[in-house]
Amino acid sequence: MNKILHPFYNIMTSIEVTNLQKTFQTKRKAAGLSGSLRALIKPEYSSVEAVHSLSFKMEAGELLGFIGPNGAGKSTTIKMLTGILHPSSGAAKVLGYIPWIDRQKLAYHIGTVFGQRPQLWYHLPAMDTFMLFGKIYELDDRETKKRIEYLTEAFEIGDLLDVPVRKLSLGQRMRCEVAASLLHRPKLLLLDEPSIGLDVVAKQHIRDAIRRMNQEEGVGVLLTSHDAGDLEALCKRVIIVNHGQIVYEDKVSNLKRNFLTTKLVQVRYALEVSKDFSINGVETLKVGHYGVKLKFDTTKTPVDSVISHLSEAGDIMDITISDPPLEEVISKIYQEANA
């Protein structure tokens, strides 16, 4: 019974959140011994609103990025969606279940990874945790082993399964962590900062495997991250939160189109040039005898006018036109939301 999806589960919607709110009571204390004594006699508390009236939907099988700075309320939201925390008010349904009421039933259908909270047993090889998870999710041993084989290939962890987890690198461990969370074929994967502290190669490994699980098994992914690279590589849609509220929600392609209007142009000439590169609306970032680096807004200055101006200066040997990093764009959105 537990493993059957909720009868009212709408096949098209994985997550539906309405006016979700979470307020924590935090103890306040002045610095020093006198502050500690005062707090002992008369403690003072203040309310911190970690999530404020949050509403959004996530479709089944969708790859949704949920990003924001530290303290934005991302992890608190994920914890409410998995049933770890009770909200202060508001409603949420995940795969048709109310997470904080149907926590156990829901847990059979979702996988969770908290980048800062390992779930693999530290002193044992990952294989032992995999087998234990098989028992926790009530899979029979043959089914568990078959699934481990598939995940071993998908996450390239064949050589790692028999090594005690304490001896694995962070990247290797995270691959095993994500694989463990997929052992029971969840419909939805909630990843909280899965790439934290990982190097470029390890991040790429994890992203490739998650993308593959999404394509092959239709697993929906809700991903929180500080890394805009995760967002670009994995997500189709993005929700940006700040101070517990949604400040932006759209497709990643629209985010790029609307906010990536600034271009960077770098040119290298065959011969030395002495032309004045100043054009209206174009900022000169760097200028040398053989090249120049410019920045301009495409909504104000057309790209072709900048290119023709640059080509008049001499024979171009090499030219690069690039977008500013997505991180810069997200930071701009945070600043606009704060203003």
Partner 1 sequence: MKELKFLIAIWQTNLQSAMEYRAAFLTQVIGMIVNNFIYFAIWIIFFNKFKDVRGWGVNDMYVTFGVLASSFGLVSLLFGNTFTLSDIIAKGRLDYYLSLPRPVLLHTVASRTIASGMGDFLYGFISYCLSGYFTWDGLARFALAALLAATVFGAFLILTQSLAFWFGSMSNFSGLMLNAMLTFGIYPITLFDSYAKLILFTIIPAALMGAVPAEFIRAFTWEVLGQLLLGAIGFLALAIFVFHKGLRRYESGSAIQIEI
| Closer residue to partner 1 in complex, CB, 108/259 | 108
| Token pair 């200028």 in the structure block, residue | 287
Q: Of the ranges 122-130, 228-236, 251-259, 269-277, which one interacts with partner 1 (CB under 8 A)?
A: 122-130
| Closer residue to partner 1 in complex, CB, 75/259 | 75
Binder of partner 1 out of 49, 60, 98, 121 (CB under 8 A): 121
Query: Does residue 152 contact residue 161 with C-beta atoms inside 8 Å?
Result: yes
Q: Of the ranges 59-67, 127-135, 302-310, 327-335, which one interacts with partner 1 (CB under 8 A)?
A: 127-135
Binder of partner 1 out of 4, 37, 122, 162 (CB under 8 A): 122
- Residue 142 binds to partner 1 (criterion: CB under 8 A): no
- Residue 116 binds to partner 1 (criterion: CB under 8 A): yes
**What's the Cα-to-Cα distance from 87 to each of 54, 79, 82, 226, rounded to whole Å?**
11, 10, 11, 24
Query: Does residue 294 contact residue 306 with C-beta atoms inside 8 Å?
Result: yes
- Residue 24 binds to partner 1 (criterion: CB under 8 A): yes
Cα(67)–Cα(48) distance, rounded to whole angstroms?
Answer: 20
Q: Of the ranges 119-127, 202-210, 223-231, 263-271, which one interacts with partner 1 (CB under 8 A)?
A: 119-127
Beta bridge partners of 222: 64, 190
Q: Of the ranges 9-17, 78-86, 258-266, 323-331, which one interacts with partner 1 (CB under 8 A)?
A: 78-86
Laid out side by side, the sheet with 237-242 consists of 110-114, 188-192, 220-225, 63-67, 237-242, 245-251
- Residue 164 binds to partner 1 (criterion: CB under 8 A): yes
Q: Least distance to partner 1 from the beta carbon of 49, Å?
A: 14
- Residue 137 binds to partner 1 (criterion: CB under 8 A): yes
Query: Does residue 258 contact residue 323 with C-beta atoms inside 8 Å?
Result: no
- Residue 91 binds to partner 1 (criterion: CB under 8 A): no
Give me the residues that bind partner 1 (CB under 8 A), please: 2, 24, 75-76, 79, 82-86, 103-105, 107-108, 112, 114, 116-124, 128-129, 132, 135-138, 164, 166
